[in-house]
Amino acid sequence: MKIFYILTFAILTTLSALSQSGSTTPVTNSQENSRIIKFYPNPATSIINFDFQNGFEKNYTFQIYSFLGKKVYELNNVTPKNIVNLTDFYRGIYIFQLRDRNGKVIDSGKFQVSK
């Protein structure tokens, strides 16, 4: 039963991220600039950089989840540039979320780790 909840969470989180970033309408420059998080390289091997653009607040929480829904990384009080070391991450797809102090998701996306 626990696996059912984990898989449901992963599917819902992925669909939420896809609906925000994978819309069928063309992306204009104003929509592209509204993203708060820029990340590179993707796919990543040993580190990944997360740059928080204008519009983020210092008291946001940044979280990374495995594709199965397990939280593998959390950063409180984000700074404009953060580097995440991926040595403890397994190969696969990960989902990140930027949350405000009330727990509302401000921005999210996914990246791939390939080792």
Residue-wise pLDDT for 24-80, tens only, equals 333 333 444 567 899 999 999 999 999 988 777 788 999 999 999 999 999 998 889
The Cα–Cα gap between 46 and 60 comes to 25
Q: Is residue 49 part of a domain?
A: yes
Domain that holds residue 102: 2-23+36-113
Burial track 17-36 (b if 16+ CB lie within 10 A, e otherwise) = beeeeeeeeeeeeeeeeeeb
The Cα–Cα gap between 18 and 109 comes to 8
Question: Which residues are 54's β-sheet partners?
Answer: none
- Total count of domains within the chain: 1
Single-letter amino acid code for the residue at 105: V
Percent of the chain residues past pLDDT 70, beyond the cut: 70
Q: What is the CATH number of the domain that holds 64?
A: 2.60.40.3080
Q: Is residue 67 part of a domain?
A: yes
Nearest Cα to 40, choosing from 73, 78, 82, 77? 82
Q: Is residue 28 part of a domain?
A: no
Q: Is residue 30 part of a domain?
A: no
